Amino acid sequence: MEQTKFLLAESELPRRWYNVRADMPNPMQPILHPGTGQPVGPDDLAPLFPMELILQEVSEEPEIAIPDELLEIYSLWRPTPLYRAHRLEQAAGTRSQIFYKYEGVSPAGSHKPNTAVAQAFYNKREGRSRLATETGAGQWGSALAFACKLIGLECKVYMVRISYDQKPFRRSMIKTWGAEIVASPSSDTQCGRAILEEHPDTPGSLGIAISEAVEDAAGREDTSYSLGSVLNHVLLHQTIIGQEALQQMEMAGAFPDVVIGCVGGGSNFAGLAFPFIREKIAGRDIDVLACEPAACPTLTRGLYAYDFGDTSKLTPLVAMHTLGHDFVPAPIHAGGLRYHGVAPLISQLVKDDLVRAEAYLQSDCFAAAVQFAASEGIIPAPESSHAIHGAVKNAREADEAGEERTILFNLSGHGHFDMAAYDNYFAGKLEDVALDEAEMQRALEAIEGLPTPA
């Protein structure tokens, strides 16, 4: 019988995160202060983040040691399993080998706790007592609530309105871990009140929820802001996924030709892909594929430009692929992929042809998710279904080309709190939205006049 699961012992947990900045052929563009247009320094970020995270944000060291206290917390769910998807391969009728790394075994059900516990840990060590954050699908909010409970911090979560309504049990989970939660836009912040006044029925967006959390943190001494994706230090913490996967692929006696992840802000994708991109830069031939929704096609159709990370223009300016900071994506069920921008590190790697991207319709992704559940058993998060669809599509293309590929993808979370979305899919009520060109051009007007990347 061929092996299905490749498991590492706790003693084999990677001791270091990998920092792709050390190996990139071209550096990412500096982050700019919107007032001065000058690169921001650590002092500009100090009101929002603890110094250790700021230092990780700007670090060019190839590896950063994971503190022992964090390794101990990671051991609650890590190392996570790597699976060979024998049954999915059979169901898809492919000659390619498909592997997946499963991050849904964490207490919150996704990859998000990998950075949540690290951020809570450094904040606590530097004397902060409260964190404010946004959440889209609720995976990040629940991960941070869990981390804060474990580490002993208060937590306030601004949850995008549409997900707040669609996912009541994510709310319950966040409350179980002791955090405060409100629908965003909320009346708790100035920017929330302004947006509600103009658009009382808005479904909300990650960009809006980020504005609220940043305003909250900037206004209180005891509070830091915590972001679940996009920033360098967040992607850094997630690289424990790919570091483990490298060891596990070796156990399986295989190496991927293709590495795949879904992309919202980019953290689970980076977490799996960056350690493999290190190998790619060192000369190995790997196709690295980022999968995004056609309703929010940041990498495939967005502009590479300086833009704000949030709707109300409270964050610094980052050079990234963007659809414009006031773009509100259609309310697709992969709430965690509804973000107008993407991690600047990933944008740079796309520009340098080290990563490529594809965009998919949500009904194709749900079809892939149901096929996956029927063969492998796990019910995936709607976000992760984009990576599954990418993997199966890639295997089909290999078959058509007469190739046998080894495909590795990140199954970033389970979908146990997303069953209403599955119900809509079964009832034929899912709307397939590809972003309209005129709407995209309108949204991009918001970045006119901002600095242009070099």
Contacts with ligand PLP, residue ranges (CB under 6 A): 110, 136-137, 139-140, 229, 262-269, 336-337, 381, 383-384, 412-413
Structure tokens at 419: 């069953």
Closer residue to ligand PLP (CB): 85 or 379: 379
Gap between the Cα atoms of 432 and 362, Å rounded: 6
Residue with the shortest CB distance to ligand PLP = 336
Smallest distance, Å, CB 410 to ligand PLP?
8
Q: Decide if 252 contacts 82 (C-beta within 8 A).
A: yes
Smallest distance, Å, CB 110 to ligand PLP?
4
Closer residue to ligand PLP (CB): 20 or 252: 20
Across the strands, what pairs with 322?
A: 303
Encoded amino acid at 150, one letter: L
Smallest distance, Å, CB 238 to ligand PLP?
8
Smallest distance, Å, CB 95 to ligand PLP?
28
Smallest distance, Å, CB 153 to ligand PLP?
20
Q: Decide if 172 contacts 295 (C-beta within 8 A).
A: no
Residue 301 burial by CB count (10 A; 0-12/13-18/19+): exposed, middle or buried?
middle
Closer residue to ligand PLP (CB): 268 or 322: 268
Closer residue to ligand PLP (CB): 390 or 413: 413
Closer residue to ligand PLP (CB): 17 or 140: 140
Smallest distance, Å, CB 3 to ligand PLP?
26
Smallest distance, Å, CB 77 to ligand PLP?
14
Closer residue to ligand PLP (CB): 310 or 383: 383
Closer residue to ligand PLP (CB): 311 or 384: 384
Gap between the Cα atoms of 241 and 13, Å rounded: 10
Closer residue to ligand PLP (CB): 25 or 168: 168
Smallest distance, Å, CB 349 to ligand PLP?
14
Which 3-state string (H, E, C) describes the chain? CCCCEECCCHHHCCCEEECHHHCCCCCCCCCECCCCCCECCHHHHCCCCCHHHHHHHHCCCCEEECCHHHHHHHCCCCCCCEEECHHHHHHHCCCCEEEEEECCCCCCCECCHHHHHHHHHHHHHCCCCEEEEEECCCHHHHHHHHHHHHHCCEEEEEEEHHHHHHCHHHHHHHHHCCCEEEEECCCCCHHHHHHHHHCCCCCCCHHHHHHHHHHHHHCCCCEEECCCCCCHHHHHHHCHHHHHHHHHHHHCCCCCCEEEEECCCCHHHHHHHHHHHHHHHCCCCCEEEEEEECCCCHHHHCEEEEEECCCCCCCCEEEEEECCCCCCCCCCCCHHHCCCCCCHHHHHHHHCCCCEEEEECHHHHHHHHHHHHHHHCCCECHHHHHHHHHHHHHHHHHHHCCCCCEEEEEECEECCCCHHHHHHHHCCCCCCCCCCHHHHHHHHHHHCCCCCCC
Smallest distance, Å, CB 267 to ligand PLP?
3
Structure tokens at 365: 């992704």
Closer residue to ligand PLP (CB): 252 or 277: 277
Closer residue to ligand PLP (CB): 232 or 267: 267
Closer residue to ligand PLP (CB): 264 or 405: 264
Smallest distance, Å, CB 61 to ligand PLP?
23
Peptide bond just before 113 cis, omega within 30 deg: no
Closer residue to ligand PLP (CB): 263 or 328: 263
Encoded amino acid at 93, one letter: G
Smallest distance, Å, CB 128 to ligand PLP?
23
Smallest distance, Å, CB 30 to ligand PLP?
22
Strands 287-293 and 317-322: unpaired
